Amino acid sequence: MSIYTTPIFNINLTKMIENFNLLKKLSAPAIPAAVVKDDAYGLGAYEITQSLYQNGCRHFFVAHGSEGKIVRHAAPKAEIFVLQGIGEDSFEYFNEAKLIPVICSPAMLDFWHTHKIEGIRPAIQVETGLNRLGFKVADLEKLTSSELSEFSYVLSHLSCADEQAHFMNARQLENFHKIKQRFFANTPATLSASDGVFLGSEFHFDLTRLGAALYGINTAPYRENEMKNILELKAPVLQVKKLDKGEFVGYSATFRAPCDMKIAIVSIGYGDGVPRSLSNRGKVIFYENGKACYCPILGRVSMDNIICDVSSVQNISTGDFGYLINDDYTVDDVARDAGTIAYELISNLGKNPRFIRNYTA
């Protein structure tokens, strides 16, 4: 009998490239850029970038200069934009890796003017309704025509693009057009992230920023997800045993068996990024004769283990693997059951150093 104790996280790069190519087609003729911030949403910025670069992607977005340095090693001739911009703490990353800052405030523009890097033309972020980072019209009015012409791209970000009929989409599009026409008539523009791609060509402009959808997340939940799931998370069973009627399960005894049951203790928990909110709500999948058996999580998710009801699985033993994410129970499904969003879920899972991580074709 084989004994395993470590969860396994498989990331399918071939399916990711298929997602990229579909998004590229939907975005055309806009340039498709890949968003690989937060270590490519936790999935490994170097490996993800390398695969995308080898398949023709030449534009990338990160959040911080330190991330850009990692991406530069995987994409030596790409344009790498840094969304949080540039400051004293990150200047050396920009200088060394030739990164492109997204200037998001007048104070940052002042810093750039005294710390320009030869050969780099920054982008500028403008405010159209999200009220996060970006120049407002009053800020832009203070800039000279020479200053306005120094940017390689003008950028803004949609707040409600995951809701097709939301009034903010039309409102922000109109605001962006007005700002571009008045201040940046000849400057390339980018407005849409993954969700904006599905709103239509009028939102695409010159470049689209493809992030969550690359990794299989449904960023347009009002329509069937066209993206392929690229993630498989599985964990081994450490023990299978009988649970008698009336017995309790887990910390705080939040589950009591209504009848005699069979349970499996699976080697994964919130210390691995599994949301504690899946307690008494989530599922683990086991397969029997090719059929998926959805086994409810019982009691609290603990740091290293979850306990699930495997009464419906006839043949299960120590060393078998249960699946927490796969094609039958996607990251969107898990996030729904956890009461969160898939973006947060994969970011937290991806940061776990305890997984055996594999990149598969």
> Which of the residues 37, 180, 234, 283 is marked catalytic?
37
Report d(CA 235, CA 56) in Å as an integer.
34
Residues 6+ apart with CB under 8 A from 274: 268, 282, 301, 306, 324, 349
Using the CB atoms, write b or e for 332-346: b if 16+ within 10 Å.
bbbbebbeebbbebb
- Report the alpha-carbon distance of residue 103 to residue 105 in Å, rounded: 6
Instruction: Determine contact, residues 8/355, Cβ cutoff 8 Å.
Output: yes
Instruction: Based on the residue annotation, tell me whether 37 is a catalytic residue of this protein.
Output: yes
Q: How would you label 111-131 residue by residue, b for 16+ Cβ within 10 Å and e otherwise?
A: bbeeeebeebebbbbbbbbee
Query: Coil, helix or strand for 341?
Result: coil
Longest Cα–Cα distance of the chain, Å, equals 77
Identify whether 242 is a catalytic site residue.
Answer: no
Q: Which of 116, 222, 242, 251 is catalytic?
A: 251
In angstroms, the CA 322 to CA 328 distance is 12
Residues 106 and 110: their CA atoms lie apart, in Å, by 6
- CB proximity list for 6: less than 8 A, separation 6 or greater: 236, 267, 354, 355, 356
DSSP assignment of 95-148, as one string? HHHT-EEEE-SHHHHHHHHHS--TT---EEEB-SSS-SSSB-HHHHTTS-HHHH
Relative to beta strand 59-62, strand 31-35 is parallel
- Active-site residues: which are they? 37, 251
